[in-house]
Structures are given as structure tokens and as C-alpha cells.
Amino acid sequence: MGISLDPTSKPSHFESLKISKKIIDVRLNLLNLKQLKKKISNFKPDFVFHLAAQSIVSKSYKEPLLTWHTNLIGTLNVLEALKSLNKFCVGVIITSDKCYKNFEISKGYKETDILGGDDPYSASKGAAEIAINSYIKSFLYNNKKFRIASARAGNVIGGGDWNSSRIIPDCIRAAIKNDTVKIRNLNATRPWQHVIELIYGYLLLAKKLKNNSNIHGESFNFGPRENLNYSVLDVLKEIKKNWKNFKWKKIKFKKNKLKEAKLLSLNCKKVNKILKWKLSMNFSQTIKTTIEWYKNYYNKKENAFLITSKQIKEYQKKIEKF
């Protein structure tokens, strides 16, 4: 069962894969606690992955209250719905690498570092982490019915993302129209990773939680090794290698407008050690796999479900040998 609002982007990955025919597709606002509790308690899940969020930093400046409600109260509502479940359940709660107080240093943040966030998206994710910890420690810690952990991932890319104000979809929209994409900050570095690698990490975390009570209440960073962070300019150059007519142009960054962190890096030793998870694709392969998805979709007109399934199977083969 999947619970979400209606997809907003056009096209959308969810719709192009026709996922609603394969799952129980519930369209519900997380802020409706009564209905959320009802849906979850009737379904009796063994695992809950909470990913729903207002996930766009620039939108969080335009709609701060919506962002705070969705990311903080929405997360608390999910925990409250889990608390009222009458069975064993594993919960993986997704926040973000932006939950850390950003000191603009190149050293990677560890799970024990200070939480914070200046823009409403980052701050609401930091606040969600505090709320998750408090909820677990106050209500769910000694309760044998629950195993919950939070996941703090770096920047996620992959085919089928059509969200606005995100680097890859913005570049693809420009490339298919033969336009030039306008970029504000070429030097911002991020812990880029492919969505398939990350989903595998979330599944490993859920499995480990089910079998091991020691990690109940813990948080985990997911991303590349801390010295393997690349800039927006590096991303653009890699896209260009894979999409020949792709062009970009730097535009002036208006001071004090839509401030975003410049340096963001994660220390992922904990997840390497406990889950034995690490990225199997290097930076070039991550961008190549992402761009190939869109090329197959737009140029070869391949079926979106087949493209995604093929990429998942290729990844499975790769990690079997990894």
C-alpha cells in the first residue's frame, strides 16, 4: 500500500510506471491523522517507509508553513499511527542530509553531529529528527512491537524525476527542447547518489531492524564516501558527456535570496559498518545511468516501467558481484 497526495509533476514516474495498478493506491494527506491511523491499522503493515515530504528547498521559502506541517507534523502523524498499531512493525523514516547544522566545512557530518538547518526545508527535517528521537525514547523504546530508525540521505538522482527546481530534471527539460539551462551555483558540492542504490540501502536497513533490536532508535547517513563529493559543475560536465546537445549558462545569484548550503558532505562509516552498504556506482556511472533513463524514455520511446525494471535488474547483478 502506498499513501500519497496526487502526483504533481507532469509526467510523473509513479504514473508513467502505472504503479497504481500494482499496489493499493491511497490518496490521503498525512495531516489527516484520523484517516491515516485508520488506513495503517486496517492494512496491518510489517514495514512502513515514510518518505512523504515537501521535498523542494526553493518551495520551502515560498510555502514555509506547508513545509513545516508536512515534514514535521506529517512525520509525527506517521509515528502516532504506528504507535496505535496492534502488531510488530518496522519503520524506516526518511529525513535528509540537510537535517545537520551546516558549518560550510568539507568534513562529512556524522550521525551524532548537531542538527539544524537555516532554510525551512532543512530546518523542518532537522526538527523531524528531534521529534523522531523524542517519540521513540518517550513512547516506543521499550515497546517490543516497534523497531524504528531514521535515514539521512544525500542528494538523490535517477531517471523519472520530473520535479521542478531540481538539477537533473531542469537539465533534462532544457536538453529535450534544445534550450540552455540556467544555473545559479556551479560550485555547490553535494553527496550525489543514484536512487536505486539508496532504495537498496533503505531495504537493508529495514531488514536489519527487523532482525536486530540494537539499532532501534538509531539514525543512519546514506551517501558516497566523504571525499567523493562533486560540484554542480561536475554534474553538468558529466551530463554533457552523455547528452551531446546539452548546454548550460551561469546566472547571477541574488544575495540573500533562496540561500542554499554550498558545502554538504556526509560521513557514512556507520551504514558501511552496520549494513555493509556502500555505493557501487562511481560518480560518472551514477550520472550515466540517470541520463540513460531519460534518453531511453525520450529518444528511444521505451516503456518507462521496462526502463526502470531493467536498471534495477542491472543493479542487482552488479551488487551480487560487489
Q: Binding residues for ligand NAD, per CB under 6 A? A: 4-5, 29-31, 51-55, 70, 74, 94, 96-97, 153, 155-156, 163
Least distance CB 12 / ligand NAD (angstroms): 9
Least distance CB 52 / ligand NAD (angstroms): 4
CA distance 90 to 281: 28
- Closer Cβ to ligand NAD, 50 or 147, answer by number: 50
Least distance CB 50 / ligand NAD (angstroms): 8
- Closer Cβ to ligand NAD, 136 or 198, answer by number: 198
Least distance CB 92 / ligand NAD (angstroms): 11
- Closer Cβ to ligand NAD, 53 or 149, answer by number: 53
Burial group, residue 76, by CB count within 10 angstroms (0-12, 13-18, 19+): middle
**Phi and psi, residue 234, nearest 5°:** -60, -40
- Closer Cβ to ligand NAD, 53 or 123, answer by number: 53
- Closer Cβ to ligand NAD, 51 or 319, answer by number: 51
Q: Is residue 205 within 8 Å of 220, Cβ to Cβ? A: yes
CA distance 7 to 15: 8
Closest residue to ligand NAD in the complex (CB): 53
Count the neighbouring beta carbons within 10 Å of the beta carbon of residue 254.
8
Least distance CB 241 / ligand NAD (angstroms): 22
Angle CA 194–75–124, to nearest 5: 75
- Closer Cβ to ligand NAD, 96 or 267, answer by number: 96
Least distance CB 244 / ligand NAD (angstroms): 26
Q: Is 297 helix (H, G, I), strand (E, B) or coil?
A: helix
What is the full DSSP assignment across 140-188?
ITT-TTEEEEEEEE--EE-TT---SS-HHHHHHHHHHTT-EEEES-SS-
Q: What cell does 242 get?
A: 552523455
Query: Distance between the two ends of the chain, CA-based, in angstroms?
Result: 31
Angle CA 233–310–21, to nearest 5: 110
- Closer Cβ to ligand NAD, 51 or 251, answer by number: 51
Strand partners, 115: 100
Least distance CB 95 / ligand NAD (angstroms): 7
